[in-house]
Structure 1
Amino acid sequence: MACSLFTSPLFPSLRLPLPTGSRCAPPPQAVASSADNAAAAPRLVAFTGHRRELVLGAALSALLSRAPLPAQAREVEVGSYLPPAPSNPGFVFFKATPKDTPALRAGNVQPYEFVLPPTWKQTRVANILSGNYCQPKCAEPWVEVKFEDEKQGKVQVVASPLIRLTNKPNATIEDIGSPERIIASLGPFVTGNTFDSDELVDTKVEKIDGLTYYSYVLETPLALTGSHNLAKATAKGNTVVLFVVSANDKQWSSSEKVLKTIVDSFQV
């Protein structure tokens, strides 16, 4: 029975036999009998005469043993670890800290806060979307955090470097432009694909603790994020922060009031 070949992602030139049947299986290896050895680095399996594979395999094992594990979001209900929101009974309070994201640790984003129903869960942000690879000088927007509840909807915080929208340092959101101009630039990060100005149903401008916020209501039937989107944006420091609440038709019909409470609570 023939063996297929496995190509190492770190060593493309290395092609190792992959067992597909008993004739391809490697000889039996010694198995550690003590539970204390379970955490030890995995032993390399080498075929007789494959000296080159043994050397490269050892290097690969060393790299993998030192590589950090990807950050994992808490796949539990936020009500189990977030405090109750004093101003919103029935909700919990989330305030981002430097331990939460690379941008907060780099000082590129100021801490932001919002409330959530206690049944929501934080979800993992893919590394390619998180900005982890480009801090402290990202040229394009990235996703800070994400939360969701399959019955109610989704929330995400998107951060955009100020330089993408204006050359003026420390600009306010008014300096950058009107609410329509901001959503025209950042709309695709609300919908997950494209933005059409006809999808903008309503806008609102408000000041909270001296900071101006633009709020949006969007009906987006073709959006990847959902057919209903609420968004809120402001600028602080070197970043424009965009808060997005999304829902499909079923979620919106049952949870519109809850979703509006979430977006209204957002502050930087």
Structure 2
Amino acid sequence: MNGYCCIAVDVGKLDNESMEIARTIGVSALCKCKPIACLIFASCNLREPNNLLSKKNKRVAVQRVQCEATRSRRHMCLGSAGAMWALLYGLQSQEAEAKEIQVGAYLPPAPSNAGFVQFKATNKDTPALRAGNVEPYQFILPSTWKRVRVANILSGNYCQPKCAEPWVEAKFEDANQGTVQVVASPLIRLTNKPNAQIEEIGNPEKLIASLGPFVTGNSYDPDELVESNVERHDDQTYYSYTLETPYALTGTHNLAKATAKGNTVVLFVVSANDKQWPKSEKILRSIVNSFQI
């Protein structure tokens, strides 16, 4: 792909109704550069996106343009490394919750964590698990959290069983505490060695340099890495991370844990904003520490 397929819209001409229509067709990753907002599509194979928009609302002035990739993460709306994921994160944020009930209503209690429940993924949960591309994983959550629907373009449903780019397996959130995402990346994106262990891909710093944008939702700067560790559980190696990410779409505070198994690297991300973090840090650390595959 030579660039990103975009629609350029005069932000000043978009009223609330028009913006909602734009979001409905997947145009939600608005770059914050006025007066023109670059709306990046996930694929250059989209046909006549401006026609799709004009059919719904004649008032939206749209033209199709080509965005150029950039190495700068702060001087343009979205850089080349994080641009696509920013779009996908934006699409996901617009999706309604899959279950409008707390997880405590349908998940079993965590054996040794009062107030938490246990989530164990099965092949009924996601397209990748059904396709055998991801090994079952598990973690704990506070019983008050809710599961959030993952947009089809994010879920990997359209590309299984041979996805070339990372996808979101599952997402849970609590408005007062934070967000959890399980992200899966094809192993071949990181190494040419089949069934490689995470140590064979590289050290923790090398791995997060490749997967950092999928933690933050847009871009990654090595200066944002506060701490990294190597853990071993049941013959499985995990890399764990603490990141302070002031420009992240996911939140200013991110905890992550990664491991490789089979043909996939699984990245478990726990995020919070400045308001959520002081009260929920202990809970979020318990969640990320519980992740296993």
Q: TM-score range by the shorter chain?
A: 0.7 to 0.9
The change in CA–CA distance for 1:193 and 1:252 in structure 2 (over 3 A counts) is: same
Q: Aligned to 2:253, which of 216, 222, 228?
A: 228
Which residue of the partner structure matches residue 43 of structure 2? none
Q: Secondary structure at the match of 1:103?
A: helix
Moved >4 Å (runs of 4+): none
Map 1:33-52 to 2 at 5 A. Answer: none
Aligned to 1:144: 169
CA distance in 2, matches of 1:80, 1:216: 31
Name the residue aligned to 1:3. Answer: none
| CA positional deviation for 1:89 | 1.7
Please state if 1:183 is matched with 2:208. yes
**CA radius of gyration, larger in:** 1
Q: Which residue does the alignment assign to 1:49? A: none
Q: Tell me if structure 1 keeps the 8 A contact 2:116–2:142.
A: yes
SS of the aligned residue for 1:249 comes to coil
For 1:111, the equivalent position in structure 2 comes to 136
1:155 maps to which residue?
180
Of the three residues 121, 132, 141, the one matched with 1:96 is 121
User: When the two structures are aligned, how many residues end up with a matched partner?
Assistant: 204
Deviation at 1:75, TM superposition (A): 2.0
Give deviations 1:6-59, integer Å, cap 9, x for gaps. xxx9xx99xxxx9xxxxxxxxxxxxxxxxxxxxxxxxxxxxxxxxxxxxxxxxx
How far has the Cα of 1:90 moved from its partner?
A: 1.5
Distance 1:229 1:198, change over 3 A: same
1:208 aligns with: 233
- 1:134-175 deviation per Cα after TM superposition (whole angstroms, max 9, x unaligned): 000000000000000000000000000000000000000000
CA distance in 2, matches of 1:176, 1:74: 36
1:74: Cα distance to partner? 1.6
Unaligned runs of 5+ in 1: 1-8, 19-69
Structure-2-length-normalised TM-score: 0.67
Partner of residue 9, structure 2: none
Question: Which residue of structure 2 aligns with residue 242 of structure 1?
Answer: 267
Query: d(CA) in 1 for partners of 2:225 and 2:279?
Result: 22
* Structural RMSD (CA): 2.0
2:150 alignment partner, one of 125, 137, 149: 125
Report % sequence identity: 76
Q: TM-score, normalised by structure 1?
A: 0.74
Task: Give 1:73 shift.
Answer: 2.0
Are 2:195 and 1:170 equivalent residues in the alignment?
A: yes
| Superposed counterparts of 1:77-92, under 5 Å | 77-92=102-117
TM-fit CA distance, 1:71: 11
